[in-house]
């Protein structure tokens, strides 16, 4: 997805619609460190709203990554 891609059903016009809730941002970065056990590493950076202060979680546990992503998704506003 490029920075100009939008989920289906979302247009440029929706951004100015006061009924349409704003969504935050979540970025997951993963890599392997072969000298470590476990070698999996991840950094999850997210905010709950545009312009919100970002939160960063670093972990070596894939389940924690999934938990953070799940929590972020469930906290997103639902369009009315």
| Average confidence (pLDDT) over 60-66 | 98
pLDDT given at position 79: 73
pTM metric for this prediction: 0.68
Q: Is residue 61 part of a domain?
A: yes
The radius of gyration computed from the CA coordinates of the chain, to the nearest angstrom, equals 16
Please check whether residue 9 lies inside any domain of the structure.
no
Residue 54 resides in a domain:
yes
Residue 7 included in any domain: no
> How many independent structural domains does the chain possess?
1
Q: What is the pLDDT of residues 31-54, one digit of tens each?
A: 999 999 999 999 999 998 777 889
The answer to whether residue 30 is domain-embedded is: yes
Position 10 in a domain: no
Residue 34's domain comprises 22-75
Q: Is 15 a domain residue?
A: no
Please name which of 46, 66, 64 lies closest in space to residue 54, comparing C-alpha atoms: 46
């Amino acid at each position: 997805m490029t920075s100009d891609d939008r989920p289906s059903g979302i247009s440029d016009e929706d951004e100015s619609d006061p009924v349409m809730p704003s969504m935050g941002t979540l970025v997951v970065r993963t890599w392997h460190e072969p000298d470590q056990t476990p070698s999996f590493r991840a950094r999850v950076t997210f905010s709950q709203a545009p312009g919100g202060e970002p939160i960063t979680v670093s972990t070596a546990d894939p389940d924690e990554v999934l938990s953070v992503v799940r929590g972020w998704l469930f906290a997103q506003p639902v369009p009315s």
